[in-house]
Each structure stands twice: as structure tokens, then as C-alpha cells.
Structure 1
Amino acid sequence: MKNRRLEIMKRKFLSDKGMWLAAGFLLLVIVASIAVDYTGLDPEAINVQNMLAEPSSVHWFGTDELGRDYFTRVLYGARVSLIVGVLAMVTSVFIGVTVGMISGYFGGSVDSICMRIVDIFCAIPWIIMVTVISMLFKRGLVSIIIVIGCFSWMEIARLVRAETMSAKNREYVQYAELIGVPKLKIIIQHVLPTIIPVIITAATGAIASAIMVESSMSFLGIGIQPPMASWGSLLQTAQTNLSKAPYMAFIPGLLIVFTICSFNKLGDLLRLYAEPRISQEGK
């Protein structure tokens, strides 16, 4: 079954040019954001004689209101946005998987309590919740990761709960319970491996969501703070120069859209492995 799903994924990837573009774009962004360290370019180098210069062979993306090379700042911003996306995803997946597995496996009153907690978090608009909490923390990269990760796990918990409830009814799990295997060992050794494909699929969506939330927070001025740059903070600072330098908003905005779409596109590919029904349709 696994080999057949992998073969379906391979055929889908090779036949879908959109998958190629998504994977290539993400690889390019990741490599460029890492390689910029070795170029010797300083994203904070100010040149007041070259403020708001248009894109050219010297400054590929032009310069900002302080004469800083915008191409360099966009690449450093890509690194920050990706770091936030990945680490916030790890945080939200850890919380969501833990809550979802506990809720789905134990059921009863434990399930009711866990799901009521999820419902409470889901009932509060995320932008209000994240804004209020972020004001209580010192603004910075770590606090942004914690805030996004701790308030974006609810859908993952629901998904994992459903898969766990299905997995615990399988014969090998019931047999392990019958012979007295500790519940924690059953969850880790028997239930968790069963739902890993679903977790991987949810993780790609969580990265895209975290990047979008970080960009929104930074755009509103409650996210990444200067001198550190992210795509969202670049959008925020570009507001005052839209008429003179529209590229300052256009470039990071376009990169955000492409990055989110690329992660979602690769997430669709992983769904072929995670969901048997889709795998059957993909034959």
C-alpha cells in the first residue's frame, strides 16, 4: 500500500508542472536566504544619497527609504518569515498532536474537556487573540513564534483526534490493550505511526498559515520589529512610499503569495499519501 501511494505521488509530481514550480520556488527561496550570508551584503547599510532608487543592475530590487539594498533585505526577510513559519508549525503541531491523540484515544470525559477547550480557542477571532497576547510579550522573533504556535493548533488537534479514534479501533491496538501494554506505549508505538502521514500533511498547511499570520502581524506593527526584517514588516514600512516606490510593497507581497501557494501545492501532493481515498482516485 505504501509503495503504491509513493508511486502515485511520484507520477503526480512528474506530471504536474505546478508541483515542479512550487518545489523549485521554495528551494530557490530557501537556498537564497541562506546564501545571502556569504555575499557580504549588509541589509542595514544606509546610503542616503541613493534613497528609493528604482530596480537596476546594481540594486536588483531597488532601494528603500534609507537607501538600503532592497534585494538583500528581501532575502533576509525571507529567512525570518521561513523560520517563523517552520518553528511556529513545530509548536502548533506538537500541541495539536498531543491534545488530539489524548482526546481521541481516551475518549469520554477527557475527550469532552479537550474538545471544549478547542471550541473556546476557535470561538475567539485569531487576530484579536494574537494581538492581545503579543502585547503581553516582548516583541521579537521568539515571542512571535510562541504566540502563533500556541494559537494555531486547534484544527490539527481535531484532525488528529479523528484519526486517533479510527486507529485505536484496529485489531493490533485492541490486542495490545488486552495483554496489558501501557497506554502511553500503545499511543507512541502503535497509534502515532498510523497518523504520521496525516501529521505531515497538516504540517505543510501550518507553515503556510504561520507565514501568513506573521505577515499580517508585522503589517499591523505588532510582529517583527526593526531593524530585523520579514516580508510582513517590509510591507508595513512600504506603506508610506507606495506612490514613489510601489515595488517595495509589490515584491514582498508577491513572495508571500507564491510561498503560501507553493506550500499548499506540496501539501496537496502529500495528501495523496495520507488519504487512501485520494490515492485510489489518483490511479
Structure 2
Amino acid sequence: MTRPETMTATETILRARDDQSAPARPVRRRARRSWSDIAFAVWGVAVMLFLFLPIIVIVIYSFNTGRLLVSWDGFGLDAFATILEKPAIQNAVRVSLITALFAAVIATALGTLAGIAMARHPGKWTWWFLGLLLLVSVTPEIVDAVALLPFMVFLGQDLGLSMFNDGIVRLSVGSSLFATAVVSYIVRARLVGQDANLEEASADLYAKPLTTFRRVTLALAMPAVLAGFLLAFTLSLDNTVVAAFVQVSGTTPWPVYVLSAVRSGLRPEIAAVSTIMLLLTLVAFALVALVLKRAGDSATQIARTMTGG
């Protein structure tokens, strides 16, 4: 009758010994943040507000029901409804979207080939070519615009190439310059870190060069190609300076329309279309990140690919 009680007492003694022999768990104390950490956090918030507060303001004012953008009368969707009532706004948005699409196609085709060539056939010429691409990237847009206008006139009138008298063609070619350099950076960054064993294996199996390029090389670079296409599309939407120089009558893109609307006073529908453009840009960047993530890239690799690093 006393055995269960004896066993219980023994277990109690053994547990007490285990508790005494076990090392005491350190008490976690919340580390106090230094003044430098707090200062950097405050500075980071201030920088974010400096960057995004104007965008937030324009999005809020796109719901203004007033006659002018700067005078707030109330909250509503009148500005978005006005877009459907003004053919000039619809035409400007249509021209911008078509131009951005054609420019993205041109930039993707040229930039993909350039990026693959730099990644798979490196040499001294690569650094010279990268220098030229960097020159295109850092050249002020006003310089590109002043150079493109007489060049387009020369092609369209002196050489008789009538396609360069078309406004869509001019805008597409002008907008694709900077975007081509961006796509080249992205595709090169994608392929330069990948081994060429798969392409060599395809050649060893007697595959034709075009087949190897289409099924192996292009397949490896496809996430970067799609990312470059989407980025080229978004970059071509707001090429204001070049578009203002090379446009022709009847093909006024949206940035130039906004620039001319400033003279008569900005209206809420300008902010409404800008909000829609912002949403399109965010969707494009989200698709870029999704494509690269589905390809197996980490967050660091996604940032590296999108910046061409």
C-alpha cells in the first residue's frame, strides 16, 4: 500500500536534483536602441515620405470633384468619369500605350540579343559596348531629343522613308533608346552568372545553333527577357522630353498632353489618368517580381536582375 507513495517521493527527489543541475535559462532583456538607430529610423521614414508623399497627394486629388486640381471641393469619381467624355484624353492615353508597347518590343528584341552576346561571348569589346550603353543611359534626354529630331527628318524626307514621318514610329523609336540599354543590362545580368554547360551539351548532341539558341539560351534568359519587356514598357510611358520633340500632329502622347494642359490649369482628370498610369506601372513591376520569383530567384537576385547589376 505504501509503494506508490514511495515511488512518488523518489520521483520528486530526482526531479528536484535535475532542476538544480540544469543550467538556469538566461533572462532575455529587450536591448535598448541607441540614439543612432533611432536617428537612422527617423531619417528613413523622412526619406520615404519625401519620395512618396507627392504621389500620395496626386492619388488623393484624383478623387477631387472640383473644377481645378488645386481646389478641393469634395470626394467623388467625377474625374474618372470625365476621362470617358473627352476624346482628347482618350487619344493621348491610346497613343502612349501603343507607343510604349512598340518601344518595349523593339527594346526587348535588340536588348536581348545584346545581353546574350555580352554574356556568352565576353571580351574586350564587351567593356566598350557596356560603356556605350552607359553613355546612352546617362545622356540627358534633351540631348537625345535634339539629336533625334533632325535624324527623323533626314530619314523621313531626305531618304524617302515615309514610315519615319509617322508619329507612332517616331515615338516608338525615340522611346526605345534608353529602354534598350536597360534590357541589355538585365539579360546580361541574368546569364552572366549561369554556366554555359547546357548550351555546350546541346551542341554536342548535334543540335543546330538556332535550335540551341531557341530552346536553351533563350529559355535560360526568358525571365530576364520578360522582366526587361515590362520595364521597357513602363519606362516608355513617361518619356516626355523626347516625345515633345519627335511627335507629329495627331499623335500627342499623354506626357505631352499633360505638359500642354499646365498652361490652362491642371484639372482632376489629369490626376485620375496619372493614378491609372501609376497602377499600370505597379502592376508591371509586380509581374516582373513574380516572373523572377517563379524562376527561382531570391529577393536579392530579383533586385540584382531588375537593376542590371
Same fold (TM over 0.5): yes
Partner of 1:276, secondary structure, is coil
Of the three residues 253, 271, 276, the one matched with 1:230 is 253
Inter-partner Cα distance in structure 1 for 2:82 and 2:246: 24
Q: Is the 8 A contact 1:81 1:230 kept in 2?
A: yes
Gap change, CA 1:131 and 1:267, over 3 Å in 2: farther
* Residue matched to 2:4: none
User: Counterpart of 2:257 in structure 1: which amino acid?
Assistant: L
Do residues 97 (structure 1) and 112 (structure 2) align? yes
State yes or no: 1:171 paired with 2:197. yes
Structure 2 CA distance for partners of 1:103 and 1:279, relative to 1, 3 Å: closer
1:84-109 deviation digits (Å, cap 9, x = unpaired):
11110011111110111111111123
Cα distance in 2 for partners of 1:181, 1:227 equals: 50
- Residues 136, 109 of structure 1: alpha-carbon distance in 2 compared, 3 angstrom cutoff: same
Q: Could you tell me which of 258, 270, 273 is aligned with 2:279?
A: 258
1:26-175 to structure 2, matched below 5 A, reads 60-61=81-82, 71-138=86-153, 140-167=167-194, 169-175=195-201
Does 1:240 pair with 2:263? yes
Distance 2:300 2:230 in 1: 18
Task: Give 1:183 deviation, angstroms.
Answer: 4.6
In structure 1, distance between residues paired with 2:171 and 2:143: 14
What TM-score comes out, normalization by structure 1 length? 0.63
Say if 1:248 and 1:223 are closer, same or farther in 2 by CA, change over 3 A: farther
> 1:122 corresponds to which letter in structure 2?
S
Q: How far is 1:152 from its partner? A: 2.1
C-alpha distance 188-235 of structure 1, shift in aligned 2 (>3 A): same
Cα shift at 1:195? 1.1
CA drift at 1:251: 3.7
* Kept in 2: contact 1:73–1:229 (CA 8 A): no
Q: Are 1:239 and 1:249, in contact at CA under 8 Å, matched by a contact in 2?
A: no
Which deviations, in whole Å up to 9, do the C-alpha atoms of 1:52-74 show, x marking residues without a partner?
9xx999x9428xxxxxx853322
Q: 1:116 deviation in Å? A: 3.2
TM-score (norm 2): 0.59
**3-state SS of the aligned residue for 1:190?**
helix
Cα pair distance change 1:142/1:107, threshold 3 Å = same
Is the aligned partner of 1:203 residue 2:229?
yes
- In 2: Cα distance, 1:164 partner to 1:278 partner: 17
Distance 1:239 1:279, change over 3 A: closer
Q: What letter matches 1:239 in structure 2?
A: V
Counterparts of 1:209 and 1:153, CA distance in 2? 10
Shift of 1:212: 1.4
Identity of aligned residues (%): 13
Deviation digits for residues 185-234 of structure 1, max 9, x if unmatched?
Answer: 43333111111122112211111111011x4544xx32534433432232
Conservation of the 8 A alpha-carbon contact between 1:273 and 1:279: no
Mapped contact 2:107–2:176 kept (Cα < 8 A): yes
- Unpaired runs of 5+ residues, structure 2, are 1-67, 69-75, 154-164, 303-309
Aligned amino acid, residue 197 of structure 1: P
CA distance in 2, matches of 1:226, 1:89: 23
Match of 2:215 among 182, 186, 189: 189
- The CA distance in 2 between the partners of 1:147 and 1:72, in whole Å, is 25
Report SS of the residue matched to 2:82.
Answer: coil
- Shifted more, 256-265 versus 87-96: the winner is 256-265
Deviation string 1:20-54 (CA, Å, 9 cap, x unpaired) is xxxxxxxxxxxxxxxxxxxxxxxxxxxxxxxx9xx
Contact 2:115 2:183 in 1 (8 A): yes
Q: Which structure: larger Rg?
A: 2
Query: Could you tell me which amino acid in structure 1 is paired with residue 281 of structure 2?
Result: I
